[in-house]
């Protein structure tokens, strides 16, 4: 994977973390392709960016006190325009300091299209503390 593509992927994951920590369902949804598949940490499956936004509008108020730090654990280049990214999520407080609680493990498949890099398939899993 080129250094540029690697930097782009890390920036996307950071942007996703920022949107989560801002509790912004629209910003979170903006990371997804229009026709994407997403399964959240509670096993709720939705299809499409609009459905991701609606789901996050429902879920984010319940996570108003939840914050996390995302770390790219591994990147697999499938093709130059498709990458799979494993992300380790650790709980944090509002200032970004480590906090108690379960973490998460996510896999995002990013594809580069007309809108740039977007998540086309994603799965988030609660990891045991």
User: Is it the case that residue 29 has pLDDT exceeding 70?
Assistant: yes
* Structure letter (DSSP) for residue 30: T
User: Is it the case that residue 3 has pLDDT exceeding 70?
Assistant: yes
In tens, the pLDDT along 45-92 reads 999 999 999 999 999 999 999 999 999 999 999 999 999 999 999 999
| C-alpha span between 103 and 70 (Å, rounded) | 10
73 vs 10, 22, 51, CA distance in Å? 10, 23, 27
| C-alpha span between 70 and 64 (Å, rounded) | 17
Are 57 and 50 within 8 A, CB to CB?
Answer: no
Mean model confidence pLDDT for the chain: 95
Per-residue pLDDT, 129: 59
């Amino acid at each position: 994977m080129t250094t540029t593509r690697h930097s782009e992927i890390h920036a996307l994951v950071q942007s996703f973390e920022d949107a989560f920590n801002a509790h912004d369902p629209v910003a979170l949804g903006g990371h997804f392709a229009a026709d994407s598949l997403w399964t959240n940490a509670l096993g709720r499956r939705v299809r499409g960016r609009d459905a991701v936004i609606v789901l996050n509008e429902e879920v984010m108020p319940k996570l108003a006190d939840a914050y996390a730090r995302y770390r790219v654990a591994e990147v697999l280049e499938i093709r130059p325009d498709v990458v799979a990214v494993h992300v380790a999520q650790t709980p944090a407080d509002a200032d970004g300091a480590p906090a108690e609680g379960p973490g998460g493990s996510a896999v995002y498949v990013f594809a580069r299209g007309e809108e740039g890099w977007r998540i086309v398939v994603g799965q988030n899993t609660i990891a045991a503390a």
